[in-house]
Amino acid sequence: MRIAWICHFTNEQIQSILKPHKKVSEFAPWITYTIAVFENRYDIELHIISPHEYISGIKEFKLNGIYYHFFNPYIPIWGRHWPSFFKWDYWTDFKKNKRIVKRLVEKINPDIIHLQGAENPYYSSTILQFFGNLPVIVNLQKTSFDMSYGDSIYAKTRQRIEKEIISKSSYLSVQTKSMFEDITELNPLAKIYYVSFSELHLNPIDIEKKYDIVFFARVCPEKGIIDLLKALQLVKKSISNVSLYVIGPCAKNFLEEIKKISKELEIENNIVWKGYLSTLKDVYLEASKAKISVLPTYYDIIPGTIIESMQLGLPVVSYKTGSIPELNEERENVLLVDKGNIEGLANNIINLLTDKELYKTMRERGIEYTKKIDNNDLVFHQHLECYQKVIEDFYNNKEGY
């Protein structure tokens, strides 16, 4: 079976081969880890079609049995984003990227295409031209379609294309029960498959604890950083020297805003702003310097931050959003409160930092749970079975598109 993924990601190894004009930070690690599950197999041929910043033209190579096809989605030759005053890609509805991906797909001639995520139009929009012509399945990385991207033309384009892809897809893949329930409301005719993705297996890092709390994710309102700041103010009333370590990329204007908020809440001296780190290895090392991990995310499935924290032995506090409550189906593995419950968030933080027995229990449960779900054979066979069913159904029922 010849499979093509359309996705976006990068890591150190990929950049060492591509040699982009400018190094960029790693992202979408679940793509990297799941690709590894398909490496050096003789029953499938996996092709990765992916945009990459700061490269010229198309770069193709084979690594560990996987075929990679990277293309420049932005300014020709230079490979950097189009400037805000000249968003050529948005004005043309990503015509250049669609043309490049079409040529690559025609050359690969895959049995099936798997789009990884519909919410980033600079690559996801390229899938629309293949509906009805090839078996196509769209993997959803979120189902919170009520989340606003903003009022700009770019935000509206992003939301329009995402909804168009999902509404036109006959085949969708999801990872959790709540995703299945959510997507049936938006596209009740689609056939939905459960497909898991692989996570890097981490072990707790033996390092001195310098901070009480770590927040490591994209620093933005949707990830709940403002809620965490408000909760920290409440925690400080019980633990005066409580410390928060914030790791992750943040827009300059928003960083100024939340620093102003922290000053107004009189917690600015309790926070260390680390910023973004270019490698995941550095992120995990720095995160391990904290005692607990807090991510009060507003819209998510099961964030990688939560799974990684559990693997690292960091007890987790979060909101009951998306599929996160599914982590507690058999027993309480993470401490959860309703979205927006700042007081509950603060109480869970205080309890973990002051109750040694609770801390030990939640730490052990997190490690045990993540070992239990670490199953690469399951990931591979779920994908393969899904692809076989989609291909068969597509050719038996072409009018499904």
Which pLDDT does position 344 carry in this prediction? Answer: 97
3-state secondary structure of 274: strand
Burial class (CB in 10 A: 0-12, 13-18, 19+), 17: exposed
Structural domains of the chain sorted by starting position, each given as residue range(s) with its CATH number in brackets: 2-199+376-400 (3.40.50.2000), 211-372 (3.40.50.2000)
Mean pLDDT of 284-291: 97
Which pLDDT does position 143 carry in this prediction? Answer: 57
Q: Tokens in use for 224?
A: 């709940």
> Is-contact 235 267, C-beta < 8 A?
no
What span, in angstroms and rounded, lies between the C-alpha atoms of 198 and 35?
9
Mean pLDDT of 333-346: 97
What span, in angstroms and rounded, lies between the C-alpha atoms of 33 and 13?
12
> Is-contact 362 330, C-beta < 8 A?
no
CB atoms within 10 A of CB 218: 15
What predicted TM-score, i.e. pTM, was given to this entire model?
A: 0.79
Confidence of residue 401 (pLDDT cuts 50, 70, 90): very low
Cβ burial 304-331 (10 Å sphere, 16+ → b, else e):
bbbbbbbbbbbbbbbbebbbbbebeeee
The fraction of the chain above a pLDDT of 90, given in percent, is 73
Confidence of residue 257 (pLDDT cuts 50, 70, 90): very high
